[in-house]
Every structure is written in structure tokens, then in C-alpha cells.
């Protein structure tokens, strides 16, 4: 080493660092020692990290790096890839140096129960829509999360938003009107409709109308207002990938790089959408604004300030529209792919109309009494769980035993949503199939077990989705109102839609032909 340092120093005339040859040698020796120590530390850290979870199976590369998680996220197939690991290795699999996923619903209940010592992990940091503050979804502090949730639960439940049902009915009427005006095909006219796109227009207008008293106008304009869908289609996959590497998410949200993120002053894109939302909410906080009986009004009455309300309004639109649209698309796609189920649901609707069991529009309470409709909805939630992210939770200090295996404290435990909801032990040997009859033909104990499991798509306990009431009301109404009026068929049966997953299921090119019932 000394000879090498002398050669380097002599070749530069002793001026490598502007000092004497001997001083340079000492400095270079120190740098070499530091570099060697750093490499040794990294090697030792990697070995320790590998060893602490070495008893849990998974891809070999995942034990040493986040590459496997990032790769599958970028390919938009993380839920499928994790399910394949669970099918191969069992209920616990390792997907990263400190990350495992489970397909055991009992583990999820244990982590999510109200008094659970588990906390949200760094995965949630990537889901700050405002880099300067957390929202209800990204908040990792349990005490702060509970306090914020308590201010909002009444607004989400509809207890203080008595117009919730009529608001959803109004937006369904706008969707029906849009179809009638622009997308009815006949024997001489062909007007295909992208059902996936219109489903999201519907859910965006519903949640914005419920959230702050006016729809954003997607159905009225039949257009991607503010390029919201275009922008989120690009940004949500990036957020999912950043969730795999939370350090990068925190770096991007730091004050040094924050300028790269969307801002409410932007003229286009997601920033412009944030600006419009913030402006609408700010108007409600003005001195001369009258109180309104909607979600925002409830939040304000329970103590949300302007900044909190603006952040939650954006979260409502992002989280409430994409997940609900995902389920509406999933149910419709699988009904169209299963003509007996489609006709059976339509027959149930027709019979209920003929016997006066349902109104026009149908009421939420009436829809709950249509057994095949409820089976179709539950099967749609199960076959493609609306939220496909890992939702990593952190094992408490001291570790825990999961599925009979000790898991050290600080380990991140995520959800294998497809594996849970396609489990043959829970749903039967044909769990990969969309078959609503499974909810009607099985014994009561089996159905109750299935129901408790599928309900976990809305999560559980202290982290249960507050928008569940809104989502189920949308599902209870929209299929009845569409199928009582129209006939739907896929335009391309061999490739009815292109489906990928970026935390939510993304449907592209879901083209359908719509006709009025009885017209052909």
C-alpha cells in the first residue's frame, strides 16, 4: 500500500492535494481505511439483514435488495407476483431485505385490530399528496390518525350528510343521460363506449360532489377534466414504486427537491387539479359561506381547519374515485364474460321491478335485499380487490409470532391481496373464477367466513376504510340502474380490456356496445 501511495504522490510531484508527499500519503491512507471500513460495514449490515429473516422463503435477490419489489411494481403486476410466491412458499414470503407479505387473513386482523401494537410502516410515506403534511391515509402516528379520523367518520358514514344517497342518484342520472345522448348503438349506428373511462368519470363526480358540494364535471363535459386520469395513471405507479423504497420518497418530498412535485400554482396536470380543489374548499371557509350538509360541512363542524380540509378533499377524490371505479369495472367485465350471471342479475332486477320491490331509482336499503346483486358485488370485490398495494405494517419492538414463525421487531409485513381473496380453502376449488353463486349455495358458516374475509378489502379495525359506506351505496345503485335500461356487450371478446395494477386496478380499452333494452 505504501509503495502504491508513493507512486501516486511522486507521479503528481507531491501536489496531489497541495501538500507534501508524506502528508498526501497519510491522507490517502486515511481515505483507504475509511473506505475499507465502510465496505466492511455494508457487508456486515447486509449479512445481518439477510440473517434476521433468512428463515422466511422468497426470491434469493429479495434478501439483499429492493430490486425484486421495484421490478414487479414497475411491471404493474405486484399483486400477481406476490400471489405466485405465496402459492409456492406458503403464508409468509420475503420480498425485500426487511419486507415480508402474508396471505393469512388472521395475521391481518391481528395487525389491524384497534389496540394492536403494529403501526403503519414507511411504505405510507410515499402517499403524501402534499409533501409538507400527512393525510388520513399516509399518517403513521396512531394517536394523530385516530384524532383526525374521529373528526371525519360522521361525514363519511352519511350520518351528517343526509343527501348522500340523492347525490349518488343524481350522478347516476347524469351517466345515464350521457349514454343516451352519445353512446347508444342501433342496427344502423355504432357508437362504442369506453366503460372503464365512464366508470371513473362517474366516481370522480360522485366523490367530488359528496366531498365539497359540487361535481367536477366529468360526466357533463365527457372529458378528462384537468387531465386528472392521464396524470394519475402516470403518477400512481410512480408512488407505488416509491413505496417500495421509502427513502427515495422522503428525499423527493424534502425541501430540496420539493419543487419537482406538482404545485397548486401549476396550469396543467395534477397540480392544477390540486389548485382547483383547494380553491373550492377555501371558499367554504370564507366568512360569508353558508354551512352545507355535505362531507366537508361535517368535517368543518368537527374541527378540521382549512389546511386539513384541503388535504383530505384531495385524498377523497384520489382514493375514493379510483378504488370504486375499479370495482365497478371488475363487476361489469366479469358479468359480460359470464352471460348466465349477467342474465340472472338482470332477471332479478326485472322481477323486483315487476313486484314493486324496488323504486326508480333504487334505494340502498332495497338493493341490500337483492341476493344475487349482493353476490355479484362481493364476487367483484373478491376477484379483483380494489386496493392492490402491500400496505406494509411494522412489527412491534420485541417481535411477534406469525403463522407459527418468529418475526423480528421492525420487520415490514404487507398484504398479499390476490392470494387472500383467491384462497381455495376459503372460497372453494374454483376460487380463480367469478361465480356469484358461491355466496348463495354454500352453508351459512362457509358464507360467513367468506364474507368476513372479503370485507377486508376495506381493511379492518383502526385502519378500516372510512369511504366504505359511499362505495357500497354506489355499487348497490349503479348496476341496477344500468341493467334495467341497457344491454351491454364487449366490443372485443378476446381482449375485452387491458388490466394492470398500480396499487389500484387500471382498465384500458374496456370498450362496450350499448343498446336500449328491447330495441333488438
Q: Whole-angstrom Cα distance, residue 47 to residue 64?
A: 9
Q: Please indicate whether residue 118 or residue 2 has the higher confidence score (pLDDT).
A: 118
Cα angle, residue 394 at apex, residues 393 and 400 outer, rounded to 5°: 115
At 494 the pLDDT is 92
Three cell numbers at 137?
391515509
At 28 the pLDDT is 74
**Confidence band of 520 (pLDDT split at 50, 70, 90):** low
Residue 9 has pLDDT above 50, yes or no: no
Residue 42 has pLDDT above 80, yes or no: no
At 5 the pLDDT is 40
The SS3 of residue 424 is helix
Contacts 24+ apart (CB under 8 A), 516-520: 516/184, 516/485, 516/486, 516/487, 517/484, 517/485, 517/486, 517/487, 519/186, 520/186, 520/187, 520/487
Tell the burial category of 37 from Cβ atoms under 10 Å away from its Cβ (0-12, 13-18, 19+).
Answer: exposed
pLDDT tens per residue, range 128-176: 887 778 899 999 999 999 999 999 988 888 777 778 999 999 999 999 9
Q: Whole-angstrom Cα distance, residue 345 to residue 502?
A: 30
Q: Is residue 100 a contact partner of residue 227, using CB atoms and an 8 Å limit?
A: no
The stretch 339-347 carries a mean pLDDT of 98
At 35 the pLDDT is 73
Q: Does 403 carry a binding-site annotation?
A: no
At 491 the pLDDT is 97
Q: Above pLDDT 90, what percent of the chain? A: 65
**Confidence band of 119 (pLDDT split at 50, 70, 90):** very high
Residue 1 has pLDDT above 80, yes or no: no
**Confidence band of 365 (pLDDT split at 50, 70, 90):** very high
The mean predicted confidence, pLDDT, of the chain is: 89
**Confidence band of 50 (pLDDT split at 50, 70, 90):** confident
The stretch 12-29 carries a mean pLDDT of 60
At 29 the pLDDT is 78
Lowest mean per-residue pLDDT among 32-36, 37-41, 280-284, 313-317: 37-41
Give every CB contact of residue 39 below 8 A, 6+ residues apart in sequence: none
Q: Is residue 388 a contact partner of residue 419, using CB atoms and an 8 Å limit?
A: no
Amino acid at each position: 500500500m505504501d509503495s502504491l501511495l508513493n507512486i501516486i504522490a511522486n507521479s503528481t510531484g507531491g501536489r496531489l492535494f497541495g501538500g507534501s508527499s508524506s502528508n498526501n500519503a497519510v491522507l490517502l491512507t486515511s481515505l483507504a481505511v475509511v473506505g475499507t471500513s465502510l465496505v466492511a460495514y455494508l457487508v456486515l449490515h447486509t449479512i445481518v439483514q439477510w440473517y434476521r429473516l433468512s428463515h422466511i422463503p422468497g426470491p434469493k435477490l429479495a434478501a439483499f435488495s429492493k430490486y425484486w419489489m421495484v421490478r414487479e411494481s414497475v411491471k404493474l403486476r405486484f399483486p400477481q407476483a406476490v400471489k405466485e410466491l405465496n402459492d409456492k412458499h406458503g403464508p409468509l414470503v420475503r420480498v425485500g431485505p426487511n419486507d415480508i407479505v402474508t396471505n393469512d387473513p388472521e395475521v391481518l386482523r391481528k395487525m389491524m385490530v384497534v389496540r394492536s401494537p403494529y403501526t403503519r410502516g414507511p411504505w405510507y410515506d410515499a402517499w403524501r399528496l402534499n409533501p409538507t403534511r400527512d393525510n388520513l391515509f399516509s399518517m403513521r402516528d396512531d394517536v394523530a390518525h385516530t384524532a383526525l379520523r374521529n373528526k371525519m367518520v360522521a361525514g363519511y358514514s352519511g350520518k351528517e350528510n343526509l343527501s348522500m344517497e340523492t347525490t349518488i342518484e343524481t350522478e347516476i342520472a347524469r351517466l345515464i343521460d350521457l349514454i343516451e345522448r352519445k353512446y347508444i348503438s342501433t342496427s344502423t349506428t355504432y357508437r362504442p363506449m369506453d366503460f372503464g373511462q365512464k366508470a371513473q368519470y362517474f366516481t370522480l363526480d360522485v366523490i367530488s360532489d359528496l366531498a365539497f358540494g359540487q361535481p367536477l364535471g366529468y360526466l357533463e363535459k365527457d372529458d378528462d377534466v384537468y387531465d386528472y386520469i392521464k396524470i394519475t395513471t402516470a403518477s400512481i405507479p410512480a408512488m407505488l414504486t416509491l413505496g417500495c423504497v421509502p427513502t427515495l420518497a422522503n428525499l423527493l418530498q424534502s425541501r430540496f427537491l420539493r419543487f419537482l412535485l406538482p404545485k397548486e400554482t401549476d396550469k396543467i396536470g395534477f397540480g392544477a387539479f390540486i389548485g382547483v380543489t383547494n380553491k373550492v374548499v377555501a371558499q367554504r371557509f370564507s366568512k360569508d359561506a353558508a354551512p352545507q350538509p355535505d362531507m366537508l360541512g361535517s368535517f368543518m363542524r368537527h374541527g378540521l381547519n382549512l389546511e386539513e380540509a384541503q388535504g383530505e378533499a384531495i385524498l377523497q377524490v384520489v382514493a375514493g374515485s379510483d378504488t370504486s371505479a375499479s370495482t365497478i369495472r371488475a363487476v361489469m367485465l366479469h358479468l359480460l364474460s359470464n352471460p348466465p350471471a349477467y342474465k340472472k342479475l338482470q332477471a332479478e332486477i326485472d322481477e323486483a321491478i315487476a313486484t314493486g320491490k324496488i323504486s326508480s331509482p333504487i334505494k340502498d336499503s332495497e338493493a341490500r335485499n337483492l341476493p344475487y346483486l349482493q353476490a355479484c358485488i362481493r364476487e367483484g370485490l373478491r376477484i379483483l380487490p380494489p386496493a392492490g398495494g402491500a400496505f406494509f405494517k411494522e412489527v412491534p419492538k420485541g417481535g411477534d409470532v406469525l403463522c407459527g414463525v418468529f418475526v423480528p421487531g421492525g420487520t415490514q409485513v404487507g398484504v398479499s391481496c390476490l392470494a387472500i381473496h383467491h384462497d381455495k380453502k376459503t372460497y372453494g376449488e374454483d376460487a380463480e373464477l367469478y361465480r356469484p353463486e358461491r355466496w348463495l349455495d354454500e352453508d351459512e358458516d362457509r358464507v360467513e367466513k367468506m364474507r368476513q374475509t372479503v370485507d377486508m378489502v376495506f381493511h379492518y379495525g383502526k385502519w378500516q376504510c372510512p369511504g366504505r359506506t359511499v362505495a357500497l351505496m354506489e355499487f348497490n345503485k349503479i348496476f341496477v340502474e344500468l341493467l334495467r335500461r341497457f344491454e351491454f356487450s364487449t366490443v372485443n371478446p378476446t381482449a375485452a380490456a387491458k388490466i394492470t395494477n398500480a396499487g389500484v386496478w387500471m382498465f384500458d380499452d374496456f370498450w362496450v356496445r350499448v343498446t336500449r333494452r328491447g330495441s333488438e
